[in-house]
Amino acid sequence: MAAPNRWLFPPGQESGCLERPLRLADGRAVWVRIGPMKVNEPGVLSVEVGVGDMGKGDKDVIQAQVRRMLRLLPEDSAAVAAFQNMHPGAKAAGFGRLFRSPTLWEDMVKTQLLCNCGWGRTLSMNRALCQLQAEKNGPPLGCPPELSHLGNFPTAAELQDFDPKALSKKCGLGYRATRLVSFAKGVATGVYDLGRLEGPGRFGSAAERLAAVRKMPGLGPFSAANVMQCLGEFEKVAADSETARHLREVHRKDDCDASNLEEIVAKVYLPYAPYQFLAYWFEIWQEYEALFGPLSRMSPDDYANITGRNMSNKDDGKTKKVPKKRAPKKTTTRKRVAVEVETVSEAGLSEAVSEVLTVEETETLVTDRNGVGAPDTPMIVARRSMRKRGKV
């Protein structure tokens, strides 16, 4: 939910979409919209890219970012299948693919901004960093005029030379600014090689990678555990005050507090090893949606309402903040890239698909914002491989 992500659910439509900037092969930010295909192709996600001309390298880079965000990689599919086999409720709900950022760097910074503050403050700090990026480099290509103040999430290279005091004042980061600038310098200069933490180039065991994460600035026990789930390691629950509230109210662990939180979390979710974090987050998500309704349909302006204060004492008769319904803004013309998946959950794009993807060239299509097509522009579709099912 944190900027620059914008989940939109147009009134009267059965499915929503995600809008945010991504990066082209040359590093430029471009506005994209991810959602179901407008034509009748069930199980296909489209990525409408706000630029008129993309090279093959751009398409590959955009698709890689989308696959990371929605966890469409083979190892993601394997983890979801294994977790759902032990958790019938999650399987019935189509739950298992937790949304993450297009880069590990963004995940790690956003995790740091979760600590020692309320959810509203976290959202405002993320938004301020994206606004800073737009001030520095201009709005993303194809960005709707009304969102031109919102850039992409800044890279480590873009933050490494900031004075911490100036950055803190500009973005309201407080003490986090010093750690963030230090972290940015380490990543930009190669002191912290994030490529060794995920993907084909990762090193060592999960425990060794966790130890490496803990050595980086601004990443304590909670932050490191959350980073690990972003890396596909779900054994450790990132526990904080919200976890303690959940355990007291849902699991009736009335004595749960900071002194015994880790011990209680370990016992409650041990039956789901090694996917404890997924089991915990499934419960949290169900609890949130029971109070606020489907979160994928919530206006971005109401995200700050999802707080522990609004979750506590839900049945005490107190008035809660009710998200307002807003119509989505119009968007600019975009080129379309498509990613085919087997299923798309109504709960949102973060809970989608269950098969390995392979890339191949297919038909051509370009659509404007009204869905009108024009020929002769490549559309890349990642199609599900059938070989493991004995089909060709």
DSSP secondary structure letters along 94-133: T-------SSHHHHHHHHHTTTTS-HHHHHHHHHHHHHHH
What does the pLDDT look like over 241-252, one tens digit per residue?
999 999 999 999
Q: Check residues 44 and 71 and name the one with the higher pLDDT.
A: 71
Q: Is residue 324 predicted with pLDDT exceeding 50?
A: no
φ, ψ of residue 34 to 5 degrees: the values are -110, 125
Highest mean pLDDT among 46-60, 113-127, 345-359: 113-127
At residue 102 the predicted structure's pLDDT band, cuts being 50, 70 and 90, is very high
How far is Cα 49 from Cα 21, in angstroms, rounded to an integer? 9
**What is the pTM for the complete model shown?**
0.81
Say if residue 387's pLDDT is above 70: no
Residue with tokens 């489209």: 46
DSSP H/E element including 47: strand 44-49
Write the pLDDT tens digit of every residue in 123-147.
999 999 999 999 999 999 999 999 9
Question: Which range is least confidently modeled, 8-17, 42-51, 274-283?
Answer: 8-17
The mean pLDDT of 287-316, rounded to a whole number, is 78
What 3-state DSSP class applies to 71? Answer: coil
pLDDT surpassing 60 at residue 320 = no
Residue at token pair 């590990």: 104
Identify whether the C-beta of residue 353 lies closer than 8 Å to the C-beta of residue 367.
no
Mean pLDDT of 273-295: 94
Residue 190's φ and ψ, nearest 5 degrees, are 90, 5
Host H or E run for residue 316: none
- pLDDT > 50? residue 114: yes
* pLDDT at position 87 over 80: yes
What confidence score (pLDDT) does residue 15 get? 76
Res 331 pLDDT > 60: no
